[in-house]
Homo-oligomer: A and B are copies of this chain.
Amino acid sequence: MTSSIVAEDYGRLIVQGADRPGIVSAVSAILAGHGANVVALDQSTSDPAGGRFFQRTVFHLPDLPSKLPALGEALDAKLVDELGLTYRLVEARRHKRVAILVSKMDHCLLDLLWRQRRGELRMTVPMVISNHPDVGDDVRQFGIPFFHVPVEKERKAEAEKEQLNLLKGNVDLVVLARYMQILSGGFLDELGVPVINIHHSFLPAFMGAGPYQRAKERGVKLVGATAHYVTEDLDEGPIIEQDVIRVSHRESARDLQRRGADVERLVLSRAVSWHCDDRVIRDGNTTVVF
């Protein structure tokens, strides 16, 4: 997508659901009927016979804000009521509000803040929350509020409540930028917005503790990272993006970790960027990335 598609009157329409004949045509007719011009359209079906339907449409509609209600009504009637689909209608000019949760490691956090400052990410960052005070100064130099919410074992529920107080209603996305605490299922439910996590990855995978040491011990030649949506099954949610970097026997376990950090920040920033542009459609435990 060209970067000029961010002005006042651009909208994005994401449609998904059970596939059936006529969806693309129905969406096109509605958009055209309301005076919208399609700028980019990606459509995909998981299986031509009885599969899932996904469509992302970027359109230009003069005076979009005033026309959204009528457009929404038409989409409700046709797509939801008649065709049994779900949809999201988004104004491109409204940047997603993204809170970043972080512990002590700052490589993913700083990469996101820098890119945001450079205009690479169509998001605002209303707050950074950490269970440690360490990165506070760095965050505040970007002019972003920093909140320290300690998460000792005995006050985890209290801490989550505190985090929810800060987050609820204020953000559209939460990014775990190497946040080393497990979020409870209750927290995710209560939060009500998507959460993206970054996770180291190996070929083949080394689950559990000390993955870099164990990778070293088996002589892995690639280290990688996976960005995924967080579900209650820790580290098992739908994958948004992955990448790898080459290593050799010359690298110590600690070196592997450093190379891994390079991949982590690249992969996380891509995943966040795509999410903010509504390019990622989640379907059960998989994703479609347009």
Selected from B43, B118, B243, the residue in CB contact (under 8 A) with A107 is B118
Q: Chain A at the B interface: mostly helix, strand, loop or mixed?
A: mixed
Q: With an 8 A cutoff between CB atoms, is A182 at the interface?
A: no
Selected from B40, B44, B48, B106, the residue in CB contact (under 8 A) with A45 is B40
Q: With an 8 A cutoff between CB atoms, is A220 at the interface?
A: yes
Q: With an 8 A cutoff between CB atoms, is A141 at the interface?
A: yes
Q: With an 8 A cutoff between CB atoms, is A93 at the interface?
A: no
Given the contacts A40-B45, A45-B40, A285-B217, A3 and B254 also touching, CB distance less than 8 Å: yes
A40 & B43 in contact (Cβ 8 Å cutoff): yes
Q: With an 8 A cutoff between CB atoms, is A266 at the interface?
A: yes
Given the contacts A258-B120, A286-B216, A203 and B244 also touching, CB distance less than 8 Å: yes
Selected from B23, B38, B41, the residue in CB contact (under 8 A) with A42 is B41
List residues of chain B with CB within 8 A of the CB of A205: 202-205
B42 & A286 in contact (Cβ 8 Å cutoff): no
Selected from B2, B21, B199, B286, the residue in CB contact (under 8 A) with A218 is B286
Q: With an 8 A cutoff between CB atoms, is A201 at the interface?
A: yes
Q: With an 8 A cutoff between CB atoms, is A219 at the interface?
A: yes
Q: With an 8 A cutoff between CB atoms, is A164 at the interface?
A: no
List residues of chain B with CB within 8 A of the CB of A241: 221
Q: With an 8 A cutoff between CB atoms, is A22 at the interface?
A: yes
Docked pose: A41 CA to B3 CA in angstroms: 22
Q: With an 8 A cutoff between CB atoms, is A67 at the interface?
A: no
Selected from B60, B246, B249, B258, the residue in CB contact (under 8 A) with A286 is B249
Query: Per-residue CB proximity of A200-216 to B under 8 Å, as 1/0?
Result: 01111101000000001
B2 & A252 in contact (Cβ 8 Å cutoff): yes
Q: Interface on A for B, CB 8 Å cutoff?
A: 1-5, 10, 20-25, 27-29, 31-32, 37-49, 55, 60, 106-107, 110, 114, 118, 120, 141, 199, 201-205, 207, 216-222, 224, 226, 235-236, 238-244, 246, 248-250, 252, 254-255, 258, 262, 266, 284-289
**Given A24-B41, A219-B286, A221-B242, 8 further pairs, Cβ under 8 A:** A21-B32, A25-B28, A25-B38, A42-B43, A199-B204, A217-B284, A218-B286, A219-B238
Selected A-B contacts with CB under 8 Å, 8 pairs: A3-B254, A4-B47, A21-B37, A41-B41, A218-B286, A221-B241, A248-B289, A249-B287
